[in-house]
Amino acid sequence: MAGVSVQAFRRQGRRFGAGLVCSEMVSCAGLHHGSERTLGYLRLASDERPLAVQIFGSEPALMAEAAVLVEAAGADIVDINFGCPVRKVTKTGAGAMLLEDAERACRIVDAVASAVEVPVSVKLRRGLENGSRACLDVGPRLVDAGASSLTLHPRSARQMYSGRADHALTAELVERVAVPVVASGDVTSRAEAERVLETTGAAAVMVGRAAQGNPWVLREVLLGGDEQPSAAEVAAELVHFVRETARELGERRATGFLKKFYGWYLGRGRFPKPFAQELVRLGSTEAVAARLLAAAPGADELAGRLEDEAAARGATDTTLELPVSAYGGG
């Protein structure tokens, strides 16, 4: 998820039980041109693994070049984005636009699969327009071109995130390919995950937006139960996330980046609504952390425990054997 799935988010997902986490989508053009910010997306750490790194673009040669860098950085899977509906991506012929250009999509998958030893997966939407069934035509051809698995979010690009994901389409795709299919879209509880798996035959489910500010949903999907986190647990988890993000992105970038997360964490009736806006107005990440710890008795001890556990896992050590002179603050 662009603008969300930073390293701190991925590490958190692994701690809460996710079997696989995925990076933000990475521009193959940015990697080709040596963009420092784009290369920074390839800061990978051992405690994130298994990890997929998602790349996007429309030129097979550049996508293959990007895949080689991704593999060298330590990714366990190279994931190709053929699903992004955002205009600034689709106008370049990338993302969901490739569902309408099956020949080019297949050339991209073939080029990437031929360039790397790790598995190649592809993320799809149903197509560009509402009611499209393009994924059912393109999906099997991508497998023939070298895709080891497919992930389907059965909304159209036009839908963005409105309406409901049509998992009847996921079931049809499962029947048409001989590789694992991951079901994505509207998986917000264990009951929904079980329903999707049972009705589609998918190999796994992917949780995305439901985990924004709510990593506890991952535990609920895996184990069941509806126990909600305490105020201290929420505050401690957010403090840890804030501090990890500041180490990763640097203080200046992190201060702005984190603002959307405050509402995600503190909503759902967990804290009074004005509290998130109070945090947004604070000028530093440590000021945010201090305010959170003051607001929830017991959070200080829990946050300290999270830091100690991260240190014990070696979570502060990243591996990046790439030509990046300086990136962020971590």
Per-residue confidence (pLDDT) for residue 315, from 0 to 100: 57
Per-residue confidence (pLDDT) for residue 265, from 0 to 100: 97
Q: Mapping DSSP to helix (H, G, I), strand (E, B) and coil, where does residue 78 land?
A: strand
Per-residue confidence (pLDDT) for residue 327, from 0 to 100: 33
Is residue 6 within 8 A of residue 42, CB to CB? The reply is no
Per-residue confidence (pLDDT) for residue 226, from 0 to 100: 81
Please indicate whether residue 106 is annotated as part of the active site.
no
Mean pLDDT of 119-141: 96
Instruction: Quote the CA–CA distance of 237 and 226 in Å, as a whole number.
Output: 18
Q: Please tell me which residue in 22, 28, 84, 106 is annotated as part of the active site.
A: 84
Say what percent of the chain tops pLDDT 90. Answer: 89
Per-residue confidence (pLDDT) for residue 318, from 0 to 100: 46
Residue recorded with tokens 């609920």: 220
Which two structure tokens, joined as six digits, stand for 252? Answer: 């200046």
Instruction: Quote the CA–CA distance of 14 and 328 in Å, as a whole number.
Output: 23
**Residue 323: is its pLDDT beyond 60?**
no
Per-residue confidence (pLDDT) for residue 330, from 0 to 100: 28
Which residues, other chains included, contact 47 with Cβ-Cβ below 8 Å and sequence gap of 6+? 11, 14, 310, 313, 314, 315
80-118 per-position pLDDT tens digit: 999 999 999 999 999 999 999 999 999 999 999 999 999
Per-residue confidence (pLDDT) for residue 324, from 0 to 100: 37
**Residue 31: is its pLDDT beyond 50?**
yes
Mean of per-residue pLDDT scores for the chain? 92
Per-residue confidence (pLDDT) for residue 316, from 0 to 100: 47
Domains and CATH numbers, the chain: 7-223 (3.20.20.70), 231-312 (no CATH)
Is residue 107 within 8 A of residue 115, CB to CB? The reply is no
Mean pLDDT of 162-187: 96
**Residue 329: is its pLDDT beyond 60?**
no
**Residue 191: is its pLDDT beyond 50?**
yes
Closest CA to 125 of 111, 113, 109, 139: 139
Residue recorded with tokens 């830091």: 307
